[in-house]
Amino acid sequence: MALTDEAIDKIKDMITSGELGPGDRLPKEADLAERLGLSRNSLREAVKALSMIRVLDVRQGDGTYVTSLEPHLLLDALSFVVDFHRDDTVLQFLEVRRILEPAATALAASRMGDGDIAKLQALLDELGEAPTIEALVANDLEFHRRIAAGAANTVLCSLIEGLSGPTTRARIWRGLTQEGAADRTREQHQAIVDAISAREPELARSWATVHVAGVEQWLRRAL
């Protein structure tokens, strides 16, 4: 095992064991290196790596702290994968969306507040009769973001939001090239809202599956 990897594992063990908790300050570099049996250089590289994935927060002139360890921080590392995706991996992102989003939609049908459901309906009503493709896609992204938030599961919400970016271009492409895509999207969105409003988790899950799978199937044929 590389020395830096060993250092990362030892700091991680301190956190997972509860010795260090969210917001705690790490001991001074020299003291921690001696205690863990590490070189100061290995420890420094480990701290740098853990700060990049938002586990540690290095504050110049103050010290190094464990972050809040909230899911949205820790899952920021997913953005590196998302940002560097290749076009030929877009179907894989859609497959993951097809697995996660129906589950989130079912949870939203059980957990989403009445006020948030009303706002979700208002979001759909904002589009009007003949929206542009750009307006439709922006509305679509916000629609899915609100449902993910309505699932009241921060891990699931962070995963879904992180995965939405790579499929945006496919959504625009479909809207421009597939006849009836805009109307189909609006109809399916309305069916999802109706199922959530009726507090029907399995119906909401089914409509979400149909909705995401439709984009995936279209893209498979188009490619």
CATH of the domain at 218: 1.20.120.530
pLDDT at 217 > cutoff 90: no
212 with 122, same domain? yes
Task: Check residue 1 and give its pLDDT.
Answer: 46
36 with 84, same domain? no
When pLDDT is averaged across residues 88-116 and rounded to a whole number, the result is 90
Residues 6 or more apart whose CB falls under 8 angstroms from that of 97 comprise 160, 163, 164, 167, 212, 216
Give residue-wise pLDDT tens across range 131-144.
787 888 889 889 99
Of 83, 69, 88, nearest in space to 164 by CA = 83
pTM (2 d.p.)? 0.64
pLDDT at 189 > cutoff 90: yes
52 with 85, same domain? no
49 with 88, same domain? no
CATH of the domain at 28: 1.10.10.10
Query: What is the C-alpha separation between 168 and 197, in angstroms, rounded?
Result: 27
DSSP state of 39: -
Of 52, 62, 79, 74, nearest in space to 25 by CA = 62
212 with 105, same domain? yes
- Please report which confidence band the pLDDT of residue 88 belongs to, taking 50, 70 and 90 as the band edges: low
The range of the structural domain enclosing residue 112 comes to 75-222
Pick from 13, 47, 69: which residue ends a domain?
69
pLDDT at 202 > cutoff 90: yes
Q: How many domains does the chain have?
A: 2
198 with 110, same domain? yes
178 with 85, same domain? yes
